[in-house]
Structure formats: structure tokens, C-alpha cells
Amino acid sequence: MSAILSTNPRLRPMRHEDLDEIMGVEVRAYPYPWTEGIFRDCMRVGYSCWVMTEADSLVGYGVMSVAVGECHVLNLCVRPECQGQGYGRTLLRALLEQAQGRNAQTVFLEVRPSNTPALHLYLSEGFNEVGLRKRYYPAERGREDALVLARALVE
């Protein structure tokens, strides 16, 4: 169970000026982080890129593509020292609200089976396993599969 947030986090579009701070979080949060170039490319091609702040401090961010009634969450990350406090759930819900506003009907994402906190979050938010991508993620000993999860955004 996540703790209740003490204040009201805000969502705003990601800016190029955010990338230094985002990269500082990314390299601490993931053993195989995205590069700054990947974030730049996502913004350049018009993906939906968001930053969550609280008291003017970056606590998380998310990147998703939205097209033809579908949303694909590509990256959802909370600053490591802020994890386990409800920020991930708040950020996920905010991203899904943005996707619904862009007429997405279904959302997809991949998650490492070994990332149990993220997996529990997604399952508790109504996602279901719909597939498996073999050897999708880099891992310490070769590659790790990805669980493909999906959730309807409209009833």
C-alpha cells in the first residue's frame, strides 16, 4: 500500500531544459537507462512527454506514444528516493488521463517480470498480461523477457 502524498504533485509537458535532471534520475533508477538522445527523439517526434513536479522539484516523468486509438507507455519513472510513496500511481493515472484526452481506447506497456513493484502497480491499476516479448530487455546475464500488459481506457 502506498503512502498518501503530502502535497499535490503537478504534471506538465517535458522540456529540453529538464533533460539534465531527468538523466540524473534515469541513471539511478535503471540498470540500463535511456540515453538523453532517446528522450530528445521522443520530444522531437511528438510523443507525449511529461514531468511530474512537487514543490518545483522533479519527482518523476513519463513518455508515451498515442496514435490511432492506442497508447503505449514507453517510460514511467519516479526518482528512487521518492518511490513507494504513491508518486508512481499518481503519475500513471495522470498519463492515462492524458491518453484518454487524446482519444486512446487501449493502453499497452512492457515491464520486466523482475520489476515486482512496477508489476504490482500496473496490475492494481487494472492492467492484464496480454503477451510476452522474449529477450526484450538487456540484463546482467544476457536478456530478460518483457511482460506485455494492456488495459482498456473506455468502458
Contact 77, 33 (CB under 8 A): no
- Over residues 27-51, the mean pLDDT reads 96
Predicted confidence at residue 8, as pLDDT, reads 85
Predicted confidence at residue 151, as pLDDT, reads 98
The Cα–Cα gap between 19 and 90 comes to 21
Q: pLDDT-derived band of residue 6, with 50, 70 and 90 as boundaries?
A: low
pLDDT for residue 33 is more than 70: yes
Predicted confidence at residue 155, as pLDDT, reads 64
User: Catalytic annotation on 97?
Assistant: no
pLDDT for residue 57 is more than 70: yes
Between 19-29 and 36-44, two packed helices, what is the crossing angle to 10 degrees? 130
Tell me which of 21, 36, 70, 110 is the catalytic residue.
Answer: 110
Q: pLDDT-derived band of residue 141, with 50, 70 and 90 as boundaries?
A: confident
Predicted confidence at residue 140, as pLDDT, reads 86
Tell me which of 26, 122, 137, 144 is the catalytic residue.
Answer: 122
- Over residues 54-75, the mean pLDDT reads 95
Contact 25, 77 (CB under 8 A): yes
User: Catalytic annotation on 122?
Assistant: yes
Q: What are the backbone dihedrals phi and psi of residue 13, each rounded to the nearest 5 degrees, phi first?
A: -60, 145
Contact 111, 127 (CB under 8 A): no
Query: Given the C-alpha cell 493515472, which residue does it identify?
Result: 93
Predicted confidence at residue 2, as pLDDT, reads 45
pLDDT for residue 106 is more than 90: yes
pLDDT for residue 7 is more than 80: no
- Over residues 17-28, the mean pLDDT reads 97
Domains and CATH numbers, the chain: 10-152 (3.40.630.30)
List, in order, residues 6 or more apart from 111 with CB less than 8 Å away.
118, 119, 122, 146, 147, 149
β-strands 142-152, 128-139 pairing: antiparallel
User: Nearest 5 degrees, angle CA 19-CA 23-CA 46?
Assistant: 45
75 is in an annotated binding site: no
- Over residues 49-77, the mean pLDDT reads 96
More confident of the two residues 5 and 133: 133
